[in-house]
Structure 1
Amino acid sequence: MKMRNISLVIALLLGGCSMTPDYNAPESVGLDQVYLHAENADKAVIENDLWWQSFNDPQLDSLIAEVQQQNISIQIAAQRIQSAQSYETMVSSLKIPTVSLGAGAFDYRLSENDSLAGPAIGAEMIGKDHNGLMAGANVSWEVDLFGRLDALSDAASIRVQQAEILSQGVNTLITADVVHNYLQYRGAQARLAIAKRNINEQQQTLEMVQSLVNSGFGSELDLASARAALASVTASQTLFETAEKVHLYRMATLLGQHPRDIISRFEAAPLPTVTGQIPTGMPSDILKRRTDIALAEREMAAINAELGASIANQYPQFYLTASPGVVAESADDLFSSDSVGWAAGFGAKWTIFDGGRSSAMVDMQQSRFKQASLRYEHAVNAAFNEVETTLMSYGNSLRFYQQLNIAAAQTETAVEKANNLYKAGLIDYIQVLDAQRQDNTMQDAVVVAQLNIASNVIMVNKALGGDWNVANQESVTSDKDKDKDKESSQVNSSAD
């Protein structure tokens, strides 16, 4: 009967129970089936998060892969994951027994005048030196009967997940910054080339007007206008040169390098444009793809686990201790069976009055959970509206670009007709140069419109979220290829 009771107590202590409230991740309730501006993109499921490959620019692809390996902010985020993992290991270790070893030597003498000395001790023990050696272990274990340590361990594990999600978010922001600066760099180069061409043509106009004024056929008004036009486009060249260097230096910062290390790295290339539509998937997909939503959901889960620990902290805590060891006067006898000694104990601690501190901690955690729930709801609403806004802006930028292309085609036609009229002797060359100036201005506007589209492409993909890590995506692609090869092999084997 006694052994049965002992077994029951041990089973109860080892099994324990959890005080953590049940937690289920929120579902996608209230989201529409399609986006309001879905016509501006492809509703297909997003299969590849390396969306910048649609620009078909190898230099951009290589730059992103390099930045994701070298960027300091991304490395800091990776270290944050390691720190969270170490914290999880430390918290989880509280659930298992702590074992410490010790050894030493001792020497002592009992005082003859000690009030405790008496017949019970014996004359042979008093006034003499006693020495020896000892070795032993100390084992202590908190029996997690009410799940307090389990809850803390779960919370620490969730914090690791949050660190990983945050790292993915940092990678997303840095990658978007790389794409933006690279495209702006190429755009500044394109606008600079147009400005130089315009300067050359305006210089010809000024020289021609000056010649007419010198011969008495031109006016000072025309001369002043020509000089103003030349000064204007010359000033724009300085702005474009500045923009080119600013974005180049920003890419150097993202790479963790000095500007001089990459100043001649990028070969001249045209501004890349997106090919194909942007896949968006269903609105509910952003719940799985957005890092801010994932962080908010994991925060709810972590606080729920911490709430469980606070509730369990109101209940008794149980401890098991044991101290086996050996003590002997000489090293030869230290490990003999007669030198073995031990002590074991079982204890409990229960705070029955703390002025309401434990209850206040529970109330605080419950309030934190409600705040986290509201933040999650806000993150979902903000994400959904951000996707709608960026899709609308992207669609409008496409339509704006289309209209500018029509206008650009007309200015090119005007230049062609002006050249034909000049060759026929029907107009002077100043009119030809003016037509060229208007065409250059329109070509610059087209480049700006292309940059606007590119910026909107970046914003749409940021709003959609996803794992933009090149290494992760290549691993997924490799696994898919292996699966396909395996399926193909199985099919061929069946055919044989």
Structure 2
Amino acid sequence: MGSFSVGEIKFRGRRFFSSVSFFLVMTGLLGACSVGPRYHPEHVALPAHYHEDDASDQDFRPQELVQWWQQFHDPVLDHLIQQAFDYNHDIRATAQRVLVAHALRDIEASQWYPQIDFSSLNGDLMKSTSLSNAMPRIDDLPRDPHASMLSYGFGASWQIDLFGRIGHQVDAHDKMIAQAQENRHAIMLTVLAEVARNYMTLRGTQHRLAIMEQHIRTARHLHERAIRLQRAGVGNTLHVAQTASLLHTQQSQRAVLCKTISQSMHALEILVGRLPGSLRAELTSTVPLPRVPPAPRTLPVRLLRHRPDIRRAERAYAQAMDEIGTEVAGMYPDLVLPLTYNPNASTFSQLFAAGAQAWQALAMTSLPLGHGGRQQARVRSAQAIAEAGRLKYHQQILTALREVEDAIVAWNGKKTHVGLLHQAAQQSRLANQRSRRLYEAGISDLLNVLETEQSALRAEDTELCAHIDWLHRTVDLHVALGSGWESRS
């Protein structure tokens, strides 16, 4: 079978189609010849007390660490965190950025497929008759300068990824998707920690306010007693002024605590995507202060691997390695197959005739030969960026280890601090009670009562502040371990 023709168009037969088939098979095989480096995960040495995960290890409690806020046994806190996961605007915005990263990856992956377009053209043409060569004659008969034109066509362009340039670009965008996901995880972890911290501050300040109210009642009682004694002629104005000063000082401190409570409520409302004031009825009532859960006794490696900043740095390093492959592939030949089919005619009946058909099938190859070393410089730049990414990844691991160790030291130190302050507060309350009884019996002076009252208030308030800080240190410890976001990832 040689060739056959339809009108003026000739089509090659078996030899033509065999050549095309062979060409497509060869380009497919060459497409597997990807150049450039490939990413291999880095292995980082960790301290001896960080161990590999073992299912038989009873000290490793995934559920307690992943959903660590449940260890405070506070249903209001659990509800607020679930609302933050669902309605926080920062978390929802980062989810959209993940979708953007997926769309950008699909844009790059579209280069793997033929790019096909359709076009059409129809209308009238009018040629100028004022030009000497505008009216050629055939058999001494002039042509009509008017013409109608109908045209439609398909254009296709297929870029063959011989050396993996497109593949490296798609892989790089896959790493960008992973980075966008880790950014979302980091935002989730930040929002989770802020909800927990503000809630601990709110509950602790409410207890500080309750203690302040007790001391204000005591100060008011002392002030009223001093006034009665002064009026009875057995007291003096000095005692009245001293008790009034104590009362006004404590009342001013109460105003500061009320402001802190309102600010903490507003912060929680914004974090859960609500308007300020919408959670006041739910948060106003005073509940027992959350108990501090025990810290994890061992540190599995998996916990550090779950930190979003470490995972994001690792994916950034992997993306930089793919960028090297993209630049290296740019030094090799680029093959594009442009195909067009574009019939032209003046009438609709002629548009599908053999004489109106027009098409072309080409193979375009380009190879950068001399650009002053530009492509080589791009490769060196990509290599330097990748090395910087590798170093940043290792530095991020070291930073995470430092934060974990600092969080453990702070947690243990605060535990000891709270225990000692609790004993001091108990002794101050006992001294204050004895001082008031002695004063009521007329044995002790009012000055001793005022001093022990202020000392007891400071001790109790300092203990509560330390307990709130201990709760914050617990949150910081779990943030340093990177736990929490996995529950709703």
Q: TM-score range by the shorter chain?
A: 0.7 to 0.9
Task: Work out whether residues 307 and 481 of structure 2, in 8 Å CA contact, stay in contact via their aligned partners in 1.
Answer: yes
1:23 paired to 2:39: yes
Identity over aligned residues, as a percent? 24
Which amino acid letter does the alignment assign opposite residue 442 of structure 1? A
Which amino acid letter does the alignment assign opposite residue 11 of structure 1? V
Task: Work out whether residues 55 and 272 of structure 1, in 8 Å CA contact, stay in contact via their aligned partners in 2.
Answer: no
| Cα distance change, pair 186–296 in 1 and its aligned pair in 2 (3 A) | same
Shift of 1:179: 1.0
1:171 paired to 2:188: yes
Shift of 1:394: 0.5
Partner of 1:477: none
Task: Work out whether residues 101 and 180 of structure 2, in 8 Å CA contact, stay in contact via their aligned partners in 1.
Answer: yes
Task: Work out whether residues 111 and 127 of structure 1, in 8 Å CA contact, stay in contact via their aligned partners in 2.
Answer: no
Aligned positions of 1:363-402 closer than 5 A: 363-402=380-419
TM-score (norm 1): 0.84
1:284 paired to 2:315: no
Partner of 1:13: 27
TM-score (norm 2): 0.85
Partner of 1:75: 92
Report the more deviating stretch, 258-267 or 366-375: 258-267
1:452 paired to 2:466: no
**Partner deviation per Cα, 1:126-170 (whole Å, 9 max, x = no partner):** 446443422221000111111111111111111111111101101
**Partner deviation per Cα, 1:19-43 (whole Å, 9 max, x = no partner):** 23021121232433349xxxxxx95
Aligned positions of 1:46-65 closer than 5 A: 46-47=62-63, 48-65=65-82
| Cα distance change, pair 267–260 in 1 and its aligned pair in 2 (3 A) | closer
Distance 1:356 1:231 in 2: 79
Partner of 1:346: 363
Distance 2:99 2:140 in 1: 62
Distance 1:237 1:440 in 2: 12
Shift of 1:251: 1.8
Which residue, 322, 327, 348 being the options, matches 1:305? 322
Partner of 2:7: none
Higher helix share: 1
Shift of 1:258: 3.1
Partner of 2:261: 244
Task: Work out whether residues 46 and 281 of structure 1, in 8 Å CA contact, stay in contact via their aligned partners in 2.
Answer: no
Distance 1:122 1:405 in 2: 118
Task: Work out whether residues 292 and 474 of structure 2, in 8 Å CA contact, stay in contact via their aligned partners in 1.
Answer: no
Report the more deviating stretch, 245-254 or 164-173: 245-254
Distance 1:222 1:392 in 2: 47
Task: Work out whether residues 140 and 322 of structure 1, in 8 Å CA contact, stay in contact via their aligned partners in 2.
Answer: yes
Distance 2:140 2:306 in 1: 82
Distance 1:321 1:234 in 2: 83
Which amino acid letter does the alignment assign opposite residue 79 of structure 1? Q
**Partner deviation per Cα, 1:193-228 (whole Å, 9 max, x = no partner):** 111111110121222234444445445554444333
* Secondary structure of residue in 1 paired with 2:285: coil
Aligned positions of 1:184-223 closer than 5 A: 184-218=201-235, 222-223=239-240
| Cα distance change, pair 274–94 in 1 and its aligned pair in 2 (3 A) | farther
Shift of 1:107: 4.3
| Cα distance change, pair 101–359 in 1 and its aligned pair in 2 (3 A) | same
Task: Work out whether residues 415 and 432 of structure 1, in 8 Å CA contact, stay in contact via their aligned partners in 2.
Answer: yes
Partner of 1:38: none
Report the more deviating stretch, 365-374 or 427-436: 427-436
Report the more deviating stretch, 258-267 or 372-381: 258-267
Partner of 1:481: none
The Cα RMSD (Å) is 3.1
Task: Work out whether residues 111 and 126 of structure 1, in 8 Å CA contact, stay in contact via their aligned partners in 2.
Answer: no
